[in-house]
Amino acid sequence: MWRPRSRRDARGMSVIEVGALRKSYGGRAVVDGVSFAVEEGEIFGILGPNGAGKTTTVECVEGLRIPDAGRVRVTGLDPVADHEAVSRVLGAQLQESELQAKLTVREALELYAAFYPRPADWRPLAERLGLTERLGTRFGKLSGGQKQRLFIALALVGDPRVVVLDELTTGLDPRARRDTWELIEDVRAGGVTVLLVTHFMEEAQRLCDRIAVVDRGRVAALDTPAGLIRRATRSTVISFTPSAPLDEREVAALPRLASVVHQDGRITLGGTDETVDAVLTLLARRRITAHQLRVTDATLDDAFLDLTGAES
C-alpha cells in the first residue's frame, strides 16, 4: 500500500498564510480581502458557492495567479517570487487540467516523477488509485473519472509537503470517491498538509479539520465542521404528517423556532431540542398523532445555506 514518507508532526506551525488577499477581473473583485492560515499537517477546506472566489484564491496560493494586493506564503515562500522553490514542496490537482492525448498513464507518472529529486514511488500510488490496469492507456482514451484519479496521482508523485486539491472527487463514482477519501487521510497521516476545495458537504465534513466558507470573495466563517454546524439557525429538524390540522398561531409560538415548511400535508420545523420538546407536548395536548415522525440534527449543508444563502 502506498504511503507518503513520514514527517515530523509540527502542528501549530502555519505552512500556508493568506492575508488580505485581493484579485479583480475587469474591475470586479473576485477575491476581496480573504485571510486564513493553514497549520502543518491539517486538512483545511474551502467551501463556497460557484463564483465565490475559491479557485482564484488557491491559484494565488499555487503561484498560478498574481494577487492585486495582500500576502501569500507557502512554507514561508512567496509563490510568485519563489515559484521554483514552492513547486518543490507543493503538489496541485487543478480544477481543470489536460495532458497530451497520446501520453500514456505510465509515461505521465514517469515524466512527473522525473521533475522531483526525491519522488514517491508511483507504482503503489497508481494501484491505490485504480490506475494499474490503465498504465498503457493513452490519456485521450481515459474516462473522466480515470483522468481525475491520474491528476490526483500526479499531484502526489513529488512527495509534496503541501498538496492543493481543487474539486478532488468530481466525476468519481461513490466507491471511488470513498477510496480517494481514505487515500487523502493516509496522505495527512504521513504529515502532508492538504488544502481542499470542494462543494461536496459530506466530503468536507469527513475530511476537514477546519473549513473556511467563502462567499462573494470574502471569508464568511472559519471554524471546524462541528463549529460551523453549531452556528446553523436550526440545529434540529423535526418533520411529520399530523392526523389533524395544527393551529398556525400555536406553531408560530413554539420556542426557538427557526423555520416552518408545509408540503403535501407534511410539516417540517427547524429549531432546537427545545422546539422538538415543545411540539411533541403540543401534539399530545391536542391529541394529534404525528405520522412518519423524523427528528434529525443539522448538517453542514444547513450551516452552508445559513452562511451563504446559496445551494451547495
pLDDT(12) > 70: no
Q: What is the pLDDT of residue 13?
A: 77
Q: How does residue 299 score in pLDDT terms, banded at 50, 70 and 90? A: confident
pLDDT beyond 70 at 20: yes
- Cβ burial of 118 (10 Å; 0-12, 13-18, 19+) is exposed
Question: pLDDT at position 217, please?
Answer: 94
CATH architecture assigned to 230-308: 2-Layer Sandwich (3.30)
d(CA 43, CA 191): 10
Confidence at residue 206, expressed as pLDDT on a 0 to 100 scale? 93
Beta bridge partners of residue 214, listed in sequence order: 219
Class of domain 14-223: alpha beta
Q: How far, in Å, CA of 270 to CA of 306, rounded? A: 12
Cβ pair 31, 56 in contact under 8 A: yes
Write out pLDDT tens, residues 95-130: 778 899 999 999 999 999 999 888 999 999 899 888
Q: Which of 111, 96, 98 is nearest to 139 (CA)?
A: 98
* Alpha helix segments (H runs only) across the chain: 54-62, 83-89, 105-113, 122-128, 144-156, 174-189, 201-207, 225-230, 248-252, 273-285, 300-308
Question: How far, in Å, CA of 74 to CA of 163, rounded?
Answer: 11
The rounded mean pLDDT for the chain is 90
Name the residue among 72, 81, 58 with its Cα closest to residue 18.
72
pLDDT of residue 8: 46
Looking at the chain, the whole-number percentage of residues with pLDDT higher than 70 is: 94
- Amino acid identity for residue 281 in this structure: T
Q: How confident is the model at residue 2 (pLDDT cuts 50, 70, 90)?
A: low
Per-residue exposure over 174-186, b if at least 16 CB sit within 10 Å of its own CB, e if not: eebbebbbebbee
- The full set of domain ranges for the chain reads 14-223, 230-308
pLDDT digits (tens, 9 = 90+) for 75-95: 999 999 999 999 999 999 887
The answer to whether residue 233 scores a pLDDT higher than 70 is no
Rounded Cα distance, 26 and 19, in Å: 22
pLDDT of residue 312: 42
| CB of 67 closer than 8 Å to CB of 73 | no
Tell me the CA end-to-end span of the chain in Å, nearest whole number. Answer: 34
pTM of the model: 0.79
- The pLDDT of residue 234: 66
In this model, does residue 240 exceed pLDDT 60?
A: yes
Enter the DSSP assignment of 4: P
Q: Is the pLDDT of residue 6 over 70?
A: no
Q: What is the pLDDT of residues 198-209, one digit of tens each?
A: 888 889 999 999
Can you give the pLDDT at residue 1? 55
Is the pLDDT reported for residue 310 higher than 60? Answer: no
* pLDDT of res. 75: 95
pLDDT band of residue 21 (cuts 50, 70, 90) is very high
The pLDDT confidence band at residue 168, using thresholds 50, 70 and 90, is confident
Average pLDDT over every residue of 22-41: 95
Cell numbers that stand for 64 in this block: 498560478
